[in-house]
């Protein structure tokens, strides 16, 4: 005897119950219901409703009492055959995990998903401690603060809402947009928020006190595809795509000064939409990801390195040594940031990876996937299996590499950074010999130029402007300090003009000092930190002094 049970499009799975009494079918078509038939009569008993898209996978429990279904809406649902009703779903996200943050002490993990929920977990056990209800505007959780205490939710009505993860109270809301704010980023300090979308301007807010800093229209044919703020709050990077009349797209990364909104750099070269951007902790390198990964040196404004790995998300470890990437191959890759070599891989997800976050101590890495899971990986154990890259260099080699650090060829200098970072025994003595703390005599012209901005003589003020412009980035810290001291309206206008001007190419010596300080931080030994501490005691106004002090402070926070 045979039955024609029904006409169902695109059947992808069939399942009989263990007792042979029931039959169900899964379909990847637009049907969102799951049919259940009695085998003996061919009667359709249930239409199980709940999936938001087609449910292509079905199965019965061994006791024939429950039907399980998996849908294209990234949910797994369970149904009671006795009543035809859906059973409570297991703990966890029921959609792609789009945001991850560790608590400041690393003991808790906060996750946000496309299922409109925020969930709090014990990092050591994976036990869920709390789940916040769905957002009333049914928006995605897009961004979490560094310590996981605040969640920024982009609602379907275009309003960004800041919510307290502990109490679920709304703390503030930002902006209004017809398209919604698809991309959000905030600084480690939690006081700056950047937003943008495929159709809306790039916007930066101060969170406390709440105020709009600036908003830049990106052009009618431009799309924002990714967004990141530097940890020091000085820079914002946006992946951009421009629709061309030929039907092709031009992709680039635009780097802007947070204080002024002015463009610092434009990076081109990717052959597909830039879906991820992330700053290194020292804010000297920007990593961008699409069909490959590229590392950009921000001071030089040039590409350092290319890594042949398609990616959807990126993260850099707190010590700035490891770059993590995840993509549509369901694998997490770890790369050495100073050299670009692969250190290892984590495999376990069943679908593409959409979010990554290191724990505050850098010992663990959390990955969120479209398979609705968050996996926690032991970074320390993996790296223990990697042979350390320890090199021994001759005096001639160190001299050549020292020269390469001043080269305008960014890939050549990047190679020198990688080699010198792997040879601490030779590198630290070399840098101790070559680097000296900045003196008051060296910074006197800078201080004179800034003071002359208040001169009664127009020509003197103009000469000061020209001198500060020639100093380039090395004058910025002192200019920002002068601006904070409430200068005269004339001086303020000139300082703001200098800070908003396009970056001049840094001198070879400035490049070399910046790269040398980067190497010392990468080495991170007591001897390297001692040299950074000595350099940090130079003239306070000097750019090199402030660079060394920042590196020394980061090392001592690890």
Q: With cut-offs at 50, 70 and 90, classify the pLDDT of residue 2.
A: very low
Question: What is the reported pLDDT for 182?
Answer: 67
Render the burial of 188-225: b for 16+ CB within 10 Å, e for the rest. Answer: beeebbbbbbeebbbbbbebeeeeeebebebeeebbbb
Report, as an integer, the average pLDDT of 9-15.
67
Q: How many CB atoms lie within 10 A of CB 309?
A: 17
CA–CA separation, 86 and 133 (whole Å): 19
Are residues 241 and 275 in contact, defined by beta-carbon separation less than 8 angstroms? no
Does 77 score more than 90 pLDDT?
no
- CA distance from start to end of the chain: 73
**Which tokens is 147 given?**
């310590």
Question: What is the reported pLDDT for 1?
Answer: 40
Question: What is the reported pLDDT for 276?
Answer: 94
Question: What is the reported pLDDT for 131?
Answer: 81
Does 32 score more than 90 pLDDT?
no
Identify the three-state secondary structure at position 413: helix
Q: Which residues, including other chains, have CB under 8 Å from residue 378's CB and lie 6 or more apart?
A: 363, 364
CA–CA separation, 78 and 438 (whole Å): 68
DSSP readout, 12-36? Answer: EEEEE-TTS-EEEEEE-SS--EEEE
Q: Which of 143, 130, 251, 139 is nearest to 188 (CA)?
A: 143
Question: Helix (H) and strand (E) counts for the chain?
Answer: 11, 35
Identify the three-state secondary structure at position 511: helix
**365-383 pLDDT, tens digit each:** 999 988 888 888 999 999 9
Q: Which of 11, 95, 26 is nearest to 67 (CA)?
A: 26
**Which tokens is 422 given?**
């792997």
The torsion of the CA quartet 69, 71, 74, 76, rounded to 10 degrees, works out to -10
Does 31 score more than 70 pLDDT?
no
Long-range contact pairs involving 493-498 (C-beta distance under 8 Å, separation at least 24): 494/453, 494/461, 494/464, 494/465, 495/453, 496/260, 497/465, 498/465, 498/468, 498/469
Beta-sheet strands, E only, within 137-271: 140-144, 150-154, 160-164, 170-174, 183-186, 192-196, 202-206, 211-216, 222-229, 235-243, 249-257, 263-268
Does 248 score more than 70 pLDDT?
no
CA–CA separation, 290 and 287 (whole Å): 10
Q: Which residue has the higher pLDDT, 210 or 344?
A: 344
Question: What is the reported pLDDT for 62?
Answer: 76
Least-confidence region, from 148-152, 248-252, 292-296: 248-252
Phi, psi at 277, each rounded to 5°: -140, 145
DSSP state of 472: G
Report, as an integer, the average pLDDT of 425-452.
95
Does 81 score more than 80 pLDDT?
yes
Are residues 291 and 278 in contact, defined by beta-carbon separation less than 8 angstroms? no
Percentage of the chain lying above the pLDDT 70 cut: 90
**100-138 pLDDT, tens digit each:** 877 777 788 888 777 777 888 887 778 888 887 655 554
Q: Which of 218, 223, 191 is nearest to 202 (CA)?
A: 218
Least-confidence region, from 185-194, 217-226, 304-313, 422-431: 217-226
Question: What is the reported pLDDT for 502?
Answer: 73
Are residues 26 and 69 in contact, defined by beta-carbon separation less than 8 angstroms? yes
């Amino acid at each position: 005897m045979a039955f024609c049970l029904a006409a169902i499009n695109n059947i992808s799975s069939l399942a009989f119950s263990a007792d042979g009494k029931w039959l169900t079918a899964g379909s990847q078509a637009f049907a969102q219901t799951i049919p259940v038939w009695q085998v003996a009569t061919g009667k359709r008993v249930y239409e199980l409703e709940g999936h938001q898209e087609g449910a292509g996978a079905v199965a019965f429990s061994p006791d024939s009492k429950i039907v399980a279904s998996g849908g294209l809406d990234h949910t797994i649902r369970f149904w009671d055959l006795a009543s035809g009703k859906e059973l409570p779903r297991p703990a966890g996200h029921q959609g792609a995990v789009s945001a991850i943050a560790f608590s400041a002490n690393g003991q808790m993990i906060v996750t946000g998903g496309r299922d409109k929920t925020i969930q709090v977990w014990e990092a050591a056990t994976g036990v869920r401690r709390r789940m916040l209800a769905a957002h009333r505007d049914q928006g995605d959780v897009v961004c979490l603060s560094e310590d996981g205490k605040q969640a920024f939710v982009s609602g379907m009505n275009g309003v960004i809402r800041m919510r307290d993860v502990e109490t679920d109270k709304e703390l503030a809301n930002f902006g209004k947009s017809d398209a919604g704010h698809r991309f959000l980023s905030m600084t480690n300090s939690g006081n700056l928020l950047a937003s943008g979308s495929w159709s809306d301007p790039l916007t930066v807010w101060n969170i406390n006190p709440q105020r709009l800093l600036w908003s830049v229209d990106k052009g009618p044919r431009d799309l924002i595809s990714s967004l990141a703020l530097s940890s020091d709050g000085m820079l914002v990077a946006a992946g951009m795509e421009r629709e061309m009349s030929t039907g092709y797209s031009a992709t680039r990364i635009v780097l802007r000064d947070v204080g002024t909104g002015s463009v610092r750099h434009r990076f081109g070269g990717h052959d597909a939409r830039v879906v991820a951007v992330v700053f290194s902790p020292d804010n000297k390198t920007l990593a961008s990801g699409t069909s490959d990964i590229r590392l950009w040196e921000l001071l030089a404004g040039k590409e350092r390195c290319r890594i042949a790995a398609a990616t959807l998300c990126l993260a850099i470890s707190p010590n700035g040594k490891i770059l993590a990437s995840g993509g549509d191959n369901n694998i997490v890759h770890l790369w050495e940031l100073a050299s670009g070599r692969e250190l290892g891989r984590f495999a376990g997800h069943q679908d593409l990876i959409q979010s990554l976050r290191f724990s505050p101590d850098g010992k663990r890495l959390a990955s969120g996937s479209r398979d609705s899971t968050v996996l926690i990986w032991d970074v320390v154990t993996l790296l223990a299996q990697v042979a350390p890259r320890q090199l021994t260099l001759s005096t001639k080699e160190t001299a050549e590499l020292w020269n390469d650090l001043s080269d305008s060829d960014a890939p050549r200098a990047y190679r020198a950074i990688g080699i010198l970072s792997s040879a601490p025994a030779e590198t630290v003595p070399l840098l101790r010999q070559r680097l000296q703390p900045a003196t008051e005599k060296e910074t006197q012209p800078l201080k004179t130029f800034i003071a002359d901005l208040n001169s009664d003589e127009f020509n003197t003020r103009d000469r000061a402007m020209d001198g500060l412009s020639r100093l380039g980035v090395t004058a910025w810290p002192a200019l920002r300090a002068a601006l904070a001291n409430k200068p005269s309206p004339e001086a303020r206008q000139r300082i703001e003009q200098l800070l908003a001007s396009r970056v001049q190419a840094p001198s070879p010596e400035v490049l070399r000092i910046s790269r040398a300080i980067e190497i010392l931080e990468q080495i991170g030994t007591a001897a390297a930190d001692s040299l950074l501490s000595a350099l940090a005691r130079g003239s306070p106004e000097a750019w090199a002094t402030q660079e060394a002090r920042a590196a020394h402070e980061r090392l001592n926070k690890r």
